Amino acid sequence: MAALDLMGRRGALRILWELRDDAVLTFRALQAAAELPPGTLNARLGELRAAGVVAAAGGYRLTPRGGQLLDALAPLQAWSQAWAKDLGAPDPCSDAEEG
């Protein structure tokens, strides 16, 4: 499946995650948030733009199709959170700071 191939590439899911909630990020801000080397980020952004899930307009943002993709991934996020809880691990999707 083409979608799984694209999402399985290094950094693709992280880029989508950082652009959630209608975020618009510059290349540098997205690079810092996603913790990706510039070459990798540039390659993934090109692929995600070609797939129609990310757009560049005053920064990078999800397209409506990209939002649909995040919605489709929501059950996987819920499963991941339950799995982490079962393992006694901190929630990897939480934005809460550790103290």
pLDDT the model gives residue 93: 59
pLDDT the model gives residue 95: 54
Q: Which CATH class is domain 2-87?
A: mainly alpha
Contact 25, 59 (CB under 8 A): yes
Residue 46 vs residue 77, higher pLDDT: 46
Q: What is the pLDDT of residues 8-62, one digit of tens each?
A: 999 999 999 999 999 999 999 999 999 999 999 999 999 999 999 999 989 999 9
Per-residue confidence at 94, pLDDT binned at 50, 70, 90? low
Question: What does DSSP say about strands 54-56 and 60-62: parallel, antiparallel, or unpaired?
Answer: antiparallel
What are the boundaries of each domain within the chain? 2-87
